[in-house]
Structure 1
């Protein structure tokens, strides 16, 4: 966002997403979206999505990330999104808000952005994606289950100083984790080990399970 978007004439303001006052203070007249990452890499930190959505909608903005559109945002009322709400000359003057209703944004993405930028996957890649989706729920369940076991093991290990995972009460986002991920989640985490730099190097160069037994 810091290096690619400016090439398209877009400037991003970076804020501490956990500081809601800082987030709201960063909103300007030309702000078009609040973009967040959850679960964050590498500590699986969790923004308060409900609170951020409240701030975004208060200022007539969408809360962005991967495209998951519930069809409830009014793209026309603020006047900030003419590409979606105003007549589009490349589609014979159609307004996606009027023509597609709740599906206005997704229709615009498919009809205009995919057409103009070519950001669509190949047929074979689409086939592979569909095959993977069939077992996605099971794989995510196993991710969460295995991560929990590793986190619990590390938490009680004598050579580990601290484990950063939101399933642990010591994590600052523990309560948000309980709220947004009641079935578990977050397979990425970090941990601090006791010892000197040579021990860290040893952990990097040897098998994870063997290192922790040394």
Structure 2
């Protein structure tokens, strides 16, 4: 039985069952039910032959925790299961996940297409730091798929979007973008951080790779940095000559061809054996443990996040001092129909709004809040507030800020799990006391 047949034959448990059980078994020595924190650097080989087979990638197992770790491996299997992926690779942060994703695909001089509506740090990473690798990005407005088609070129290796964009709650048309990527013979990479696999599973809509900042909703408690790249296992890396890292002989492993050898596990194996080996962006076992705990309550938390966010957005939309609200949960949003298609369980917990009076009035609201914490994060159990133009999107030009939905008057909210009436009261007093 090949791996894909094996996967298909396995029973398909419900999402909530998998968010608690996927990847984990009772610890065999002590019987501990919760996954232990394997705070360990290296692992004993059975003998010389076993060691050689591990280093030759002939046997899967644990060598050194920069590459693989038992606690991290449980989280990897769990996230892959929740995303309906073939495998995944956890790493130190969401930015590390993006670097790992492109590291397997890109050669010097290559380009990729990215939405111009992304987290500001991603725009900076793609537009500035990636230049040092001679990787070039073309930012386009993906609301019109023709813009993506027009940006394609022979050296283009991927299309990158956020399923639910940070900060403005923009919803990407994943199915349309997947069709373009397939026609071009390149993967569609989707950042699913804001939506989480509970609200949206991009692989079902044709995404080839899914990235996460696990720091956010998957962890859910503001304690643990992390990232993850999930491979759908569906992309044919040998369909053209664009991806020699995955479908050509690898000198570091005596000419091994990852796709020929590992098939639908090629990307995940490469991400561990070469990506983590050489970039060293390893997830800490303690952070993996904290994120495993977060995953156990993901569905329950996202339901409350979404319910609170929708009602807060409705309150703000009706407030006389509020100029506008950008939230896909609202029927007034231009992305409401896409949210109904791709995020039927809820449009997420992060959205933006602007108060009348612009920049100065907006900063006053941020400073006046008492329950909302003023900090640069999302996905916490606590409600958070931020002025993106002066923080997360500060490095961008004003034109880029406007395109990303982070103009000077924009306030970003990440709605938490507190009592709804308390959140509304806090925002009301903050807006009403300029």
Give the TM-score of the pair, scaled to structure 1: 0.92
Residue in 1 that maps onto 2:167: 42
**Structure with the largest fraction of helix:** 1
Aligned-residue offset at 1:27: 0.9
Aligned-residue offset at 1:185: 2.7
Partner Cα distance (2:234, 2:367) in 1: 50
SS in 2 for 1:158: coil
Residue in 2 that maps onto 1:111: 273
**Structure with the largest fraction of strand:** 2
Q: Which runs of 5+ in 2 are unaligned?
A: 1-125, 191-210, 212-228, 370-426
Q: Is the 8 A contact 1:143 1:185 kept in 2?
A: no
SS in 2 for 1:33: strand
Partner Cα distance (2:176, 2:308) in 1: 31
Q: Which runs of 5+ in 1 are unaligned?
A: none
Partner Cα distance (2:360, 2:140) in 1: 36
Aligned-residue offset at 1:112: 1.0
Residue in 2 that maps onto 1:71: 233
The answer to whether 1:210 aligns with 2:432 is no
The structure 1 residue matched to 2:261, chosen from 91, 96, 99, is: 99
Aligned-residue offset at 1:160: 2.1
The structure 2 residue matched to 1:125, chosen from 287, 293, 298, is: 287
Aligned-residue offset at 1:74: 0.6
Partner Cα distance (1:198, 1:70) in 2: 45
The structure 2 residue matched to 1:175, chosen from 337, 342, 346, is: 337
Aligned-residue offset at 1:195: 4.8
| Deviation per residue, 1:137-191 (Å, 9 max, x gap) | 2222221111011011112222223211011122111111000000003211112
Partner Cα distance (1:201, 1:182) in 2: 33
Q: Is the 8 A contact 2:302 2:348 kept in 1?
A: no
Residue in 2 that maps onto 1:10: 135
The answer to whether 1:139 aligns with 2:358 is no
Q: CA RMSD in A?
A: 1.8
Residue in 2 that maps onto 1:150: 312
Q: Is the 8 A contact 2:246 2:258 kept in 1?
A: yes
Give the TM-score of the pair, scaled to structure 2: 0.47
Distance 1:198 1:32, change over 3 A: closer
Partner Cα distance (1:193, 1:175) in 2: 25
The answer to whether 1:20 aligns with 2:178 is no
The answer to whether 1:31 aligns with 2:156 is yes
Q: How many residues align?
A: 214
Residue in 2 that maps onto 1:90: 252
Partner Cα distance (1:182, 1:203) in 2: 31
